[in-house]
Amino acid sequence: MVELVRRMTQGDIERCLVIEEQTYSMPWTETIFLDELVASGREYLVAEAEGAVVGYGGVMLVLPEAHITSLTVDPAQRGRAIGTRLMLALADEAREAGARSLTLEVRASNKNAQSLYTKFGMAPVGIRKRYYRDEDALIMWVHDIDRPEYSERLDSIRAGVEVAS
Ligand SMILES: CC(C)(COP(=O)(O)OP(=O)(O)OC[C@H]1O[C@@H](n2cnc3c(N)ncnc32)[C@H](O)[C@@H]1OP(=O)(O)O)[C@@H](O)C(=O)NCCC(=O)NCCS
């Protein structure tokens, strides 16, 4: 299914914008993507299937913390482990950069995404009131991602998606 997870380039932005606009009521603009790609401490990745970008995600490194800034899959391609593969790659990036914790905000109503993050050991620790203007955000964290136990968790998730594809 997903053949490749690789660095996002400027050439990917047009496709990411289409997915972004199909997904969010307040989508990121081209300027935001361009700024994020050159900002320091950011890593943006895309997943490709049959030569097309089907999802993307990013992480902001503020060591020892890593903050997932985005994770989005083409609506037509959801439920096929693309989000899981992107999260695996983002967690790898964070660990390789020396991060010890992973955090993100997620819409309080977005149970699918929360369930994905729970698989990655993330747990809710608080609420940011009206973070999305129309809704609260749940703040999720996982600590000790530099430890062997977390490596084992990632290996087990990786083994699961490899069997499934
Ligand atoms: C959240 C999102 C990135 C997940 O990507 P995906 O490729 O569909 O997810 P996967 O196929 O890898 O599924 C991973 C896990 O997510 C959860 N999940 C995903 N879709 C689900 C659904 N329709 N119902 C229930 N759980 C779901 C499950 O825990 C699933 O694990 P499982 O297959 O072991 O049950 C994708 O649905 C998306 O782009 N949603 C809109 C944007 C968004 O909400 N982004 C997150 C912002 S914080």
* 132 catalytic residue (yes or no): no
Using alpha carbons, select from 25, 79, 91, 30 the residue that is nearest to residue 55: 79
Delimit the domains of the chain by residue range.
4-164
* 96 catalytic residue (yes or no): no
Residue 127 Cα to ligand 1 middle (Å) = 21
Domain 4-164 has CATH 3.40.630.30: yes
Band of the pLDDT at 164, cuts 50, 70, 90? low
pTM assigned to the model = 0.96
Question: What does the pLDDT read at residue 127?
Answer: 96
**Atom 22 of ligand 1, residue of closest alpha carbon:** 112
Residue 159 token pair: 């083994």
Residue 96: CB atoms within 10 Å:
9
Using alpha carbons, select from 109, 68, 110 the residue that is nearest to residue 86: 68
Give the separation between CA 101 and CA 61, rounded to whole angstroms: 10
**Positive or negative torsion for Cα 42, 140, 100, 91:** negative
Question: What does the pLDDT read at residue 165?
Answer: 63
- Residues in contact with ligand 1 (CB, 6 Å cut-off): 23, 71-73, 78-84, 106, 110, 112-113, 115-116, 119
